[in-house]
Amino acid sequence: MTTTTKRSKARANGLRLAAKVATVGGFAVAALGLAEAHAAGTNEMTTHAATSEVAATHDDTQPLPMEGWAKVQNRGGDCGCSPCWGPPAPPPRGVA
Amino acid sequence: MSTLDLRRHVRRDPMPGFDLGDVSAADLEAARTNWRERMVSEHASARVFGALVGGMMRAGLPADETYRVAEMVRQELDHARLCARVLASLGGEPVAPMPELVELPDHADTTPLEGVLRNVISIGCCSETVAVALVATEREEAGPPAVRRVLDQILRDEIKHSRFGWRIASRLAPSLSAKERRSLSSYLVDAFAHQVRFHAPFLDMPCAEDAGRAIGAPHGRSSWLVFVSTMNDIVVPGLERCGLAAAEAWREVRSWGRAS
């Protein structure tokens, strides 16, 4: 498997899991072990197949969505460096 | 500015060493940087969940949910310790300055219910859902079993945090008044713009090779794609299902790029 294919497949699987978690039916997923969560199939999976397809097929050497304007915005997470997993404090109203 | 020092914890409970494979020097350094920043970010984010508790109580949310959020505080602190152990195994020192700790907004301009939903949606539905996608993606490419186990544990908790957001949003959004719903929908522009700004540094991050990604070195461009896909295809539709004008808010945020 090429590097690009591996990365694309990893993205597709990561997004599939996030999609399962976000659906109302996915509430049961949180209570499962991770192995069961990956194995569980739901009807919502067909809905989220499109998500996985885009992420899986995008050639990430090409221009990325929203790349242009995101680069010129005032940036930074709570640590002032790279974005991390820990959620930042929500913004106040009206700062957009 | 304070310092986060987890050396004592790592000394008490070190991670066994693992084979780095043919990681380049640049990717190894990138992996160390990534785990150090995650260590700090996870530790700092414990206060985000802690600050949710007061708003949940003011809004009259069920006590069980408040209890779960209190557990999330501890989970984030545990994540910091896990990241510290990986960092130390890669030859990095688990010491780093803490960032400025921005206070959670109290949203005094609206009702307690809408106020807590603003924070829950930003934290659970947006940030933690993106985190699930990012951690799950990284876990697919992780190499050493010790690293996979760390990602497994963090991912299990991120799933809980994301599901908390969706559970609260889907249960409480229907009880919003029309005015609260309009206000919350309008807030989504702020929340989404904040997410874009928070994740934009991915665009400047290096793009590691396979061996580097296997130990946690970033691939910035791929991570950005995960973020945008999560927002486009999971967060926005999910909030639409909760009765909020999320698609309109996301379109507005995306349009700023075309206007600039």
Q: What is the CA radius of gyration of chain A?
A: 17
- Across chain A, mean pLDDT equals 68
- Assign B4 to helix, strand or coil: strand
pLDDT of A53 reads 52
First to last CA, chain B: 36
- Tell whether A35 is within 8 A of chain B (Cβ): no
Within 44-73 of A, beta carbons closer than 8 Å to B belong to 48, 50-51, 54-55, 58, 60-61, 64-73
C-alpha A20 chain-centroid distance: 11
- Residue A14 pLDDT > 50: yes
Q: Find out whether B125 and B239 touch, Cβ atoms under 8 Å.
A: yes
Q: What ipTM was predicted for this assembly? A: 0.92
Residue of A nearest to B158 (CA): A85
**From the CB of residue B80, how many other CB atoms can be counted at a distance below 10 Å?**
22
Judged by DSSP in three states, B134 sits in helix
Per-residue pLDDT, averaged over A37-43, amounts to: 43
Pick from A34, A54, A64: which is nearest to B152 by CB? A34
DSSP code for B97: E
pLDDT at residue A21, as a whole number: 94
Residue-wise pLDDT for A46-73, tens only, equals: 344 444 555 555 666 678 888 887 777 6
